[in-house]
Amino acid sequence: MELTIIVIVSVVAIVAVAAVSERIAVAVPLSLVVVGIALSFLPGLPKIDVDPFVAENFGWRGGIVLIAFVVAGTTLLAQGPGEVLDRVREAARTRGGPSGPGHRRSS
């Protein structure tokens, strides 16, 4: 139950920080890092320990990849899949990717 509450509060905080940073025209990742650093100095917050199972079985690279997927998944849930896919398509078009100008489909 405690983990569920922590996850829900974390997702709400990420969405709130993202909304505020877009409103004040600051990069969202920068805002999230600054807020994370500020929260790390608050007394009374629970200490986060890495499970030894993850560290031993996945190693540091595997743990980092696992964290990256969790962060990417949280971002996807916060922004909505449609908006993320629209941004990917727009980036592909402007950079001349597979759906960009000059791309020919093979017959």
- Domain assignment present for residue 107? The answer is no
pTM for the whole thing? 0.45
In tens digits, the chain (107 residues) has pLDDT values of: 677 887 788 888 888 988 898 889 888 888 888 888 888 888 887 777 767 776 666 666 666 777 778 877 777 777 666 776 777 778 777 766 555 455 555 54
- The structural domain count of the chain equals 2
- 41 and 9 fall within a common domain: yes
Do the domain assignments include residue 91?
yes
- Residue 24 in any domain: the answer is yes
63, 54 in Cβ contact below 8 A?
yes
Report the SS3 class of residue 8.
Answer: helix
Q: Are residues 77 and 93 in the same domain?
A: yes
Which of 28, 48, 68 is the endpoint of a domain? Answer: 48
Would 8 be classed as within a structural domain? Answer: yes
